[in-house]
């Protein structure tokens, strides 16, 4: 009986926390000022690579991301964000292929241990827009524009802290960064999709 009551209490608290954690606004000017850090448990990057001219798009997932920014709602368009991706965190669900892709013939994770995007400015509507910045990949830096949706800001789990979330997409050419291996079977255009959440420090 006691155990049943405890389970019921925990379940009700979880539901209450879920409700409290819903985004309360999609207006970036209502986000509290301060320093924000990427929540690595709620951050992912997917890359889709055309296979053999377009039979399908092979999906690669990067699981380790880090980053953050200092936010001022009075000047949200000038927010500078830095995101790093660990190429060694690549996952394909194909036995043995992860090691091949992170090796010296492809991502060369040992020589280039980070992929970095530094955003310099944002423009567009409050809930969605374009984030301009520089992507450094395999030691080459190129300008990249991300189409980003601001999913909202609100309290964290059980109402604690402040959390905000974003979704985004972009397309790059891997050849622009010197990655031309297996060009006969893997397309040049890479579709990047990311889901990230940040918490206020």
Q: What is the pLDDT of residues 157-168, one digit of tens each?
A: 877 899 999 999
Query: Is 72:55 a contact under the CB 8 Å cutoff?
Result: no
So what's the pLDDT on residue 149?
Answer: 95
* 3-state secondary structure (DSSP) of residue 199: strand
Number of domains in the chain: 1
Residues near 43 by beta carbon (within 8 Å), at least 6 away in sequence:
65, 194, 195, 196, 197
What mean pLDDT do residues 21-45 have? 91
CA distance 112 to 96: 20
Query: Is 196:166 a contact under the CB 8 Å cutoff?
Result: yes
Domain span holding position 137: 2-200
Q: Which residue has the tokens 């879920």?
A: 18
- Whole-prediction pTM: 0.85
Q: What is the pLDDT of residues 111-144, one digit of tens each?
A: 999 999 999 899 988 789 999 999 999 999 999 9
Q: How confident is the model at residue 60 (pLDDT cuts 50, 70, 90)?
A: very high
Give the CATH number of the domain where residue 185 resides.
2.40.128.110
Q: Is the pLDDT of residue 29 over 90?
A: no
């Amino acid at each position: 009986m006691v155990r049943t009551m405890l389970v019921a209490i925990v379940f009700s608290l979880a539901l209450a926390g879920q409700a409290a954690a819903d985004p309360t606004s999609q207006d970036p000017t209502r986000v509290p000022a301060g320093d924000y850090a990427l929540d690595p448990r709620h951050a992912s990057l997917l890359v889709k690579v055309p296979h053999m001219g377009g039979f399908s798009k092979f999906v690669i997932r990067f699981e380790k991301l880090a980053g953050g920014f200092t936010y001022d709602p009075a000047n949200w368009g000038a927010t500078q964000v830095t995101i790093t991706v660990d190429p060694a965190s690549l996952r394909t669900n194909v036995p043995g292929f992860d090691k091949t892709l992170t090796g010296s013939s492809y991502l060369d994770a040992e020589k280039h241990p980070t992929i970095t995007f530094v955003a310099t400015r944002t423009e567009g509507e409050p809930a969605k827009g374009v984030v301009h910045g520089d992507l450094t990949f395999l030691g080459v830096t190129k300008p990249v524009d991300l189409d980003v949706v601001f999913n909202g800001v609100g309290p964290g789990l059980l109402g604690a802290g402040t959390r905000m979330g974003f979704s985004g997409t972009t397309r790059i050419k891997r050849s622009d960064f010197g990655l031309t291996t297996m060009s006969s079977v893997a397309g040049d255009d890479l579709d990047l999709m990311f889901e990230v959440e940040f918490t206020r420090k």
